[in-house]
Amino acid sequence: MSYRIAVDTGGTFTDVVVADAQGHLVVGKALTTPDRSYEGFSAALANAAEITGVAVETLLGETEVLIYGTTRSTNSIVEKKTAKTALLVTEGFPDILLYRQGGKREPLNIVIEFPPPYVPRRLTFEIPERINAEGGVKTALDEAAARATIAGLAKMNIEAVAVSLLWSIANSAHEKRLGELIAEILPGIPYTLSHQLNPIIREYPRTSSTAIDASLKPLMQRHLTEFESDLRAANYQGEILVSACSGGVMHVKDVVEKPIYTVKSGPAMAPLAGIAYAEAEGEGNDVIIVDTGGTTFDVSLVRAGQIKFTRETWLLGEWIGHNLGLSSVDVRSVGAGGGSIAWIDSGGLLRVGPKSAGAMPGPACYGRGGTEATVTDAAVVLGYIDPNFFLGGRMALDVSAARKAILAIADQSKMSAEQAAFAIITIAGEQMIKAIQEITVQDGVNPAESILVAGGGAAGLNILPIAKALGCAKVLVPRTAGALSACGGQYSNIVAEFSASQYAHSGNFDFAGVGRALDGISQQIETFSKELRGRGITQFNSEFFVEARYINQQWEMELAMPLETIKSAADVEVLVQAFHDVHFRRYAMKEEGGAIECVNWKGRLTAILEKPNLPEEIAGKLKAPVAKRVSKTYFGGDEALDAPVYVGIDLSPGAKITGPAIIEEPTTTIVVYPGATARVTERRNYMLETETENKA
C-alpha cells in the first residue's frame, strides 16, 4: 500500500496527516520542537502510525510523497532571528524600506512609532548607478565603488545580500553584474536579485520581498537540509515537496533558491482543504476558511471556487510592518489562537494576544511551567475541554494550574474565574470576527452568503457564536479539523508564478510591449513545465492575470485575463469591460467608459498532482447518540449548564445533537452552544447550525 504524508509544523503543534490509497485520512499531533523540527514530526507521525496500526518504518518506507509545511521562516521574521543581511540600492535611494508605502491605519495618530526597516540603514549601501524607466543607462555602474562596498561586507560578517536597483525590471544588467561581483568577492554568501525574484513596478514591495528572501536563505537552507537529512536517515526514499504561500507546493531545491515562498505557507494550504470538504458535502464553492491554531487565527476566502490572492501580505502590522511583496494566498491572521495570552492593559481593559505561550512552556494547563492565562486555560475552566482527553488522552491537563492562571486575571477585573474565562473566549472571538470581516465585508463579500469551514485544534471552542455574529447559518467542521492546513497539503498541486511589468494605457495601448511581457511569461511557464514533465508530471493548467487601475487610482486590482493575448482594440475593450465587472463586484462601483492603466502581468502554472479522493459516503444504521458523561459548562449566564459530552468516533452518520453539548475528537473539541445543533454528515464530518438558522 502506498501512502501520502502532509506535515504542518506550527508554533505550538506539529500536525501530520496520512492518506492511504483509499483516501482515508489519519491525523497525528504532537508538540512542536523548535530546536529540531524532525523530533516533533516524528512524534506526530508515531501518533498517526499508532492509529493506522502500521509501524513508523513501514509507513515511511511505503510513502511516495511527503509535503512539508513550516512556520520557521514566518517565526524567524517575527522574532527577528533572520540572517544578518546587507541591502544594495541605487545611490540616492537608501530609504526605500524605511518609508515603506507611506500609509498607516491611524493617519491622525502622530505619536505612533514605526518599527525600524527590515534591513537597518547601517547595513544599507548605495551603489553609484542609475537605470531609467525605459531601460536606458543614465549612470553607468561604478564597478570600483561596488567592489569596495562588497569587500567591506566581509568585515561586517554579513550572512546574506539583497540587491534591488531602480528600474532593474527594465534593464537588469547592473543587478546581474552585482550578483557576479558578490559571487566573486563573497563566495558562499547567498544573495537575491530583485529582478529575478519579483520583477514588478513599485520599488518598495520589490525591495521588501528581495530583502526578506535574502535574509531567509541561510536559515531555511540549513533547516530544509537538516529536515531532509533526518528523513533520509529514517529510510524515507520518496519525494519531498514544500508548501508555498502561492497556494501550492514546490520542490525542495526550488524553495532553497526562493525561501520567501515558505512565509505564511502553512495557512495558505487551509483553503485547499476547505474547498475540498465544502464541495464534497454539497455546500457549494463560496467558502470562508478559518484555522485556529495555538498561536494565530487565520482566515482565507474562496469565491466561486477561486482562492483569493493578494500582494498586500504584511508581517508585524499593515503599513508599518514588512510587506511580502509577492502574489500569495490572502490570509488574514490575528494573535487569537489557543495559546494566546490574556492580559490587562494600562487602562484596566482585558486583552487577548498577540503574544502566545507557544509550545514551551505553553498554556498553564500544560504543566510545563507556564503561568499566564491563555484561551486554552479559559476553555478548561469553562468545562469545554476534558483535561483527561486532550490529544486523545495522550496529554493530561492541569486544571488547578489553569484555574490559578485565570484567577490572576479575574482578581484584577473583579470577576469570578468562570466570568473571566468566558470574557477571554469572547474577546478572542471578537478579534476573529474582525479578521473575517476584513477579508469579506471590506472587499464587498457578504459572509452570510458563504459557508464557514472551521479547522485547527481550537476552532470548535467558539466558532458557533462567531458564525452567528456574521450571519452564517452553517459551519462545517471536518473530522480532521485539528490539522486543516496539513490536510490542505494532501489536496495541493505544484504552483509556480511568473511576473513581468509593462505599463499600458487602454486609450493608447502598447501592444508590442505587452506582447513581449506575455511572451516572456509564457516562455518561463514552458521552461518550467518542461522540467516538471521530466519528473513524470503530465497535467498542467495555466492562467494569466493583470494588475490594473482606473486613471488616478493609487492601487491596482488583480483580475484574471479574459484573453490569453491582446492584439487588437477589440481585445483591449474586452479587457476593460472585464475590469469594470470585477471592480463593480468587489466595490459596488465602476467607471463606465473610463480608461484603465495596466501595470503588472502574471502567469500562474498549476501542475496537477495525484491526490487522495475523499472517502465515499458511509451507509449504515442510524444510532441514537449516547453521551459518555455530563460536564458542568459555563456559557456566560449566571449558572453553569449540564452539557452532555459525546465521543466523535461513537457517533453514527445522521446523528443530530442539540446544544448545549460537547463533541470530543482526538485533535479538536466542538462546543455546541445552547440553541445550536450539530449533525454528523454521511462523510462523518460535522455540520453545525447556528441558533439563528434553527429559529428560522
**Element spanning 191, H or E:** strand 191-193
CA distances from 57 to 8, 41, 233 (A): 20, 14, 11
The phi, psi pair for 661, rounded to 5°, reads: -160, 165
What residue type is 5 in one-letter code? I
pLDDT of residue 123: 97
Pairwise CA distance, residues 12 & 27, whole Å: 16
pLDDT < 70 regions, the chain:
1, 103-104, 359, 615-621, 691-696
Pairwise CA distance, residues 200 & 205, whole Å: 8
Q: At what angle do helices 203-233 and 37-52 cross, to 10 degrees?
A: 60
Computed on alpha carbons and rounded to an integer, the radius of gyration of the chain in Å comes to 26
Question: Which residues, 6+ apart, have CB-to-CB distance to 379 below 8 Å?
Answer: 338, 385, 421, 425, 458, 461, 669
Residue labelled with grid coordinates 510592518: 321
Strands 25-31 and 661-665, bridge-based pairing: unpaired
pLDDT of residue 692: 47
Q: pTM (2 decimals)?
A: 0.85
Buried b (16+ CB within 10 A) or exposed e, 18-31: bbbeeeebbbbbbb
Question: Which residues, 6+ apart, have CB-to-CB distance to 144 below 8 Å?
Answer: none
What residue type is 209 in one-letter code? S
Pairwise CA distance, residues 235 & 74, whole Å: 29
Residue 651 has what DSSP assignment? P
Which residues lie across from 26 on neighbouring strands? Answer: 18
Residue 364 has what DSSP assignment? G
Query: Which residues in 293-432 belong to E strands, given as ranges?
Result: 297-303, 306-307, 309-310, 314-315, 322-323, 328-329, 332-334, 340-344, 350-356
Query: Which residues in 357-473 belong to E strands, given as ranges?
Result: 451-455
DSSP 393-430: GTS---HHHHHHHHHHHHHHHT--HHHHHHHHHHHHHH
Q: Which three cell numbers stand for residue 185?
A: 568577492
Task: Count the Cβ atoms, other than its own, within 10 Å of residue 589.
Answer: 9
Pairwise CA distance, residues 58 & 616, whole Å: 26
CB-based contact 364:374 (threshold 8 Å): yes
How does pLDDT run across 304-319, given as a tens digit for each residue?
A: 888 888 888 888 777 7
How does pLDDT run across 465-504, given as a tens digit for each residue?
A: 999 999 999 999 998 888 898 999 998 999 999 999 999 9
- Write down the number of H helices and E strands in the chain: 18, 35
554 class by beta-carbon count within 10 Å (0-12 exposed, 13-18 middle, 19+ buried): exposed
